[in-house]
Amino acid sequence: MINVEEGTVERIIWSEDKMQCLEVQVGDKKEKAINYLELSGAASPGNRVFLNTTAVRLNLGSGGYHFVLLNTTASPYTPYSGHIIKMRYTPLQHKVMTWEEKCGTSEDNCNTKYTGLHVPVVIGELHSMLAPFARTLKLINTKCRIIYIMSDSASLPLSFSRNVRSLKNTGVLAGTITAGQAFGGDLECINIYTALIAAREELKADVIIITPGPGVVGTGTRYGYSGVEQGEHVERAHKLRGIPLVIPRISFADSRSRHRGISHHTLTALGELTTKSCFLPLPACSRGKMRLFYEQLAAAGLMAKHRVVTIGSKRFHKYLKECCGDCHTMGRGLRSDPIFFAAACASACLTEAVLKQQIKHIPARGGIIYL
């Protein structure tokens, strides 16, 4: 059951295109709240609002924000003209115009199979992989059009992501798509398949990257975490003739043994949960750490299944400070968890090599190559 509290808007702390951050008087305290214009309209000082305070009261990772459920005196917000509903059958269901609707409903559209991506489809488990990867690739290749697809396995509103706002404002991302129940992208799509097609055909992607939004879920069980979708995305990319490349989750700063070295999240998703092969880049580091990586991959059956590419440190190290200096993952920055960000930068280097055809486009099964 959700926890609902009433408050009065004191001021607007900041405002973006589709989101406001409010200071709200709740009882005898002034607290922060996020207001999504698409759901509850624009707020002004003095407005009476009802807040979902569940996450903050439970000390969960919502950034310390409440969320506006209802603004009793909201300014009107122009609705979309589409009729597809996202967040269906919840009190926050709302209509959007999806890309699929714009494509029409002719028999030709229904009967034509699509098998023509032919571009790298980069797959990350965590939202914190997006910025270091995209910044590095854009620095290497300034003309590259990078399109971001946000899945619906974590945060649903795209506007909640500060990373995406920054990457779009600086021209690193050429466009965004929200798939499934996620909403707020430049294009709305019903599923990942159509999101991939829209990224290539509508937004003219040179590279497509898929990650969830902020706030992934993990439980300490083998399969109970958001990142299992990585294996499914590899399959989807293959079926549409994309070139799948997975950013591995690597850390030596995480205190949990299951995430030491290559996380079990990567090993499980690419081992048991996909039948297809992908490129799997590894950032070159010390002999002891590389030995651990290879042992982990072999034990999980990934060495024979995927094309592992070790990226020399000279290729990626020069991008770490410039592209990852202000990035964080699980509260850790570049200084405390450098290998995590090195994996994202190395993945960008491999992606550029694929674009330049310095490496075979289709990842062959098995073996290690060095770049």
In a domain, 153, yes or no: yes
Q: What is the pTM of this model?
A: 0.93
- Tell me, what's the pLDDT at 110? 64
113 within some domain: no
180: alpha, beta or left? (left if phi > 0; alpha if psi -120 to 50):
left
**What are the distances in angstroms from CA 66 to CA 52, 89, 194, 285?**
6, 22, 33, 42
Could you tell me if residue 87 is inside a domain?
no
Domains held by the chain: number: 2
Report the sign of the C-alpha dihedral through residues 352, 353, 355, 356, in that order.
Answer: positive
If asked whether residues 172 and 57 sit together in one domain, one would say: no
Specify whether the CB–CB gap between 242 and 118 falls below 8 A: yes
Does residue 261 sit in the same domain as residue 345?
A: yes
Closest to 252 (Cα-Cα) out of 336, 180, 331:
336
On whether residue 204 sits in a domain, the answer given is yes
Question: In terms of domains, do 141 and 32 share one?
Answer: no
The CATH number for 16's domain is 2.40.50.220
pLDDT given at position 111: 61
Asked whether residue 107 is assigned to any structural domain, the reply reads no
pLDDT for position 364? 64
Residue 61 sits in the same domain as residue 202 = no
pLDDT at 218: 87
Query: What pLDDT was estimated at residue 255?
Result: 85
Confidence at residue 249, expressed as pLDDT on a 0 to 100 scale: 96
d(CA 288, CA 302): 19
Both 130 and 205 in one domain: the answer is yes
pLDDT of residue 361: 64
Could you tell me if 280 and 223 lie in one domain? yes
Provide the 10 A C-beta neighbour count for residue 87.
17
Under 8 Å CB-to-CB from 19, ≥6 apart: which residues? 34, 35, 36, 37, 157, 159, 160
Same domain, yes or no: 237 and 296: yes
Say what the pLDDT of residue 306 is.
93
Domain end call among 71, 88, 107: 71
On whether residue 170 sits in a domain, the answer given is: yes
Which range of residues forms the domain containing residue 211?
120-370
Based on the fold, state whether residues 242 and 154 are members of the same structural domain.
yes
Residue 23 lies in a domain: yes
CATH classification at residue 214: 3.40.50
Residue 58 phi, psi (nearest 5)? -95, 5
Residues 127 and 194 in one domain: yes
Q: What is the distance between the alpha carbons of residues 61 and 84, in angstroms, rounded to a whole number?
A: 30
Both 210 and 124 in a single domain?
Answer: yes
Within 8 A by CB and 6+ apart from 23, the residues are 9, 10, 11, 12, 13, 30, 31, 32, 33
In a domain, 93, yes or no: no
Which tokens belong to 250? 């690597």
The Cα 129–Cα 211 span in angstroms is 8
The rounded distance, in Å, linking the Cα atoms of 49 and 173 is 34
Going from the C-alpha of 133 to that of each of 104, 118, 159, 167, 184, the distances in angstroms are: 35, 20, 20, 11, 22
* Same domain flag for 148 and 264: yes
Whether 163 and 306 map to the same domain: the answer is: yes
Segments of the chain scoring below 50 in pLDDT = none
Token couple for 78: 């122009």
pLDDT digits (tens, 9 = 90+) for 325-342: 999 998 898 898 999 999
